[in-house]
Structure 1
Amino acid sequence: MSIYVGNLSYQVTEESVADIFSEYGTVKRVQLPVDRESGRLRGFGFVEMSSEAEEMAAIDALDGAEWMGRDLKVNKAKPREERPASGGGNSWGNRGGGGGGGGNRRNDRRY
């Protein structure tokens, strides 16, 4: 399992996050997602530690703690929810689709 860390400063690094969490056990991995378009950190991350006991100790100590001018949000990471394929759709399984309809609009006169 892993730990979710929210409300991170945009100046953090994987190393600085690992340093803070290493006070509570062995940090196996730190992941800081970046925005695809801007390449900027997204303000949250994930930390994996060696044991559940270490994870709980870090969560208990760091949730709500102030770090780099921000109050951290630290809890157990929840599994990522499946998202439908991009493009939307409707209950008939169609994607997109035209609008249509309307008519009898004052400024929509066709001769």
Structure 2
Amino acid sequence: MNIYIGNLPFNASEDDIRQLFAAYGQVDVVSLIKDKFTNQSRGFGFVEMPNLKEAQAAIQALNGKEFMSRNLTVNPARPREERPRDFGGRSYDTKRRPGGKGNRSRRGF
């Protein structure tokens, strides 16, 4: 089962998280999400536990628990939603003229 962990301390390591979850069962993977430019933690991550009952016990015990002075958010991970590939820019319009007025006539001259 894939588990989401939020509100992580920025200085928490994968080993810290592995030890925290290992108290409830086998931990296969710990993945802390980092900023791709600064390589600093973004304050959340994921833990993969193969045994469903152990994973549920970890979620029950750790959600809301204080860890390194932060109250954790621990939930079953949701699958990523498909997002449109929008790069945030405006599409190029060949009809637009410099000045940003489009095809509107210029009045008031």
TM-score normalized with structure 1 length: 0.81
Query: Does the alignment pair 1:75 with 2:41?
Result: no
Partner residue of 1:7? 7
Superposed displacement of residue 103, structure 1 = 5.5
Q: Which runs of 5+ in 1 are unaligned?
A: 90-94
Q: CA-to-partner distance for each residue in 1:35-84, whole Å, 9 max, x for gaps?
A: 01111111000001121101100000000000011000000000011111
Partner residue of 1:60? 60
Partner residue of 1:16? 16
Same amino acid, percent of matched pairs: 47
Label 1:100 to 1:52 Cα distance change in 2 as closer, same or farther (>3 A). farther
TM-score normalized with structure 2 length: 0.83
Superposed displacement of residue 86, structure 1 = 3.2
Label 1:2 to 1:104 Cα distance change in 2 as closer, same or farther (>3 A). same
Root-mean-square deviation (CA, aligned residues, Å) is 2.1
Q: Which runs of 5+ in 2 are unaligned?
A: 94-99
The number of residue pairs the alignment matches comes to: 102
